[in-house]
Structure 1
Amino acid sequence: YLLIIGKVEFSNLKCTSWDPEWVDFEYCYLKAYNRTFRYLSLKAKLYKLPVKEIKVNFALLKRFGGLKTTLYNITIDGCKFVKDETKANPIITYLYGFYRVYSNINHTCPYDHDIIMEKIPATVFDTQFSEILPFARGEYLFKSNWIYQSNNKASVHVYLSYT
């Protein structure tokens, strides 16, 4: 058997607060540790604590001929998902796998602290894209929108290429 595994490289990271009185980003960056190891980190400062409810919209898009084609676009109740992810939609569980062990979003609501995603390596995306649910080579955008009381409070967009 010939095993071909792809490689993911981060190309950009954008964190946007749509309501700075509710949430703001202390930091949001990509960092190259060396030529082969890159990671992303972000810290969202929450100002209206505790957060007892949150909806999250996840979308995965692929660039195809200049247009972005939506592969997945799902909105979930974030508190219910973390409470019992074993019963959740398998696509959401897959998307959560990108950052699960690198964040402090690993318990049920309420959240009474800032949200941190620290040093998520591109190698996590390698595994997710090539071993768990294989994808075609190309340019992708992983979007998440964080919604409180029907208002989008923040967005995180991770741009990457899969070769």
Structure 2
Amino acid sequence: MYFKHLVVLSFVFAAYQIVQITSRVELTNLKCIPLDKSFADFEYCRIKAVNRSYKYLALKVNLFKVPVTNVSINVSVLKRLNGYKPFLYNITFDACKFMSSKNTNPLIKYFYSFISEHSNMNHSCPYSHDLIVDKVSIEFLNHQLTEVLPVPEGDYAFYTSWYAYGKNRADVRIYATIT
């Protein structure tokens, strides 16, 4: 009797190990589009593969008209279904107001958590220096998108439009696949 239970328990454990699924995030493309080069331009914008297991995202924006005291950001998430279609979120917010009190909106706080530890944009306005997002690793994004707030499998686009003084100055588009 004990042996039968042990065999069944072993079979269930082995089946669980085979069926257990872990999600993975893979960055497929990154596009940084300066819309007003007299205001700001990208020094670099890349997905860097250090080796087979370590990849990261990095970008640097050179600001030419500083200090910047009025910033708004539009964040939209799109999913590929016969082209990229809106998926759940499309939000515009005052970045200066958010940075002075980060607890105002949990959704914006979640999106900000993607870059907060990897950026020099961690203070309130004014911004009188170049903006850097450095070495946001795939493992970090994987944790945010599959454990903190799980996202269904699929191909996604994460569009951000950066406005200063009411004018769109730059767009950053991140494309990823979650499997």
TM-score band w.r.t. shorter chain: over 0.9
Over alpha carbons, which structure has the higher Rg? Answer: 2
Give the count of matched residue pairs: 162
Which of 60, 78, 81 is 1:64 aligned to? 81
What do residues 139-163 of structure 1 show as CA deviations (whole Å, max 9, x unaligned)? 1111111101221000111101111
Partner Cα separation in structure 2 for residue 108 and residue 67 of structure 1: 33
Q: Which has the higher strand share?
A: 1
* Aligned amino acid, residue 152 of structure 1: N
Partner Cα separation in structure 2 for residue 66 and residue 107 of structure 1: 36
**Structure 1 segment 82-161 matched on structure 2, within 5 A:** 82-86=99-103, 88-161=104-177
Whether the 8 Å contact between 2:84 and 2:157 is mirrored in structure 1 is no
What do residues 104-157 of structure 1 show as CA deviations (whole Å, max 9, x unaligned)? 010011111000001111112211111111111011111111101221000111
Partner SS, residue 85 of structure 1: coil
User: Cα distance 1:67–1:42, how it changes in 2: closer, same or farther (>3 A)?
Assistant: closer
Partner Cα separation in structure 1 for residue 21 and residue 83 of structure 2: 26
Which of 26, 31, 43 is 1:9 aligned to? 26
TM-score (norm. length: structure 2)? 0.86
Name 2:46's counterpart in structure 1.
29
Q: Percent identity?
A: 43
CA shift for structure 1 position 90: 1.2
Whether the 8 Å contact between 1:55 and 1:78 is mirrored in structure 2 is yes
Q: Which has the higher helix share?
A: 2
Q: Which runs of 5+ in 2 are unaligned?
A: 1-12
CA shift for structure 1 position 103: 0.5
* Aligned amino acid, residue 120 of structure 1: V
Q: CA RMSD in A?
A: 1.5
TM-score (norm. length: structure 1)? 0.94
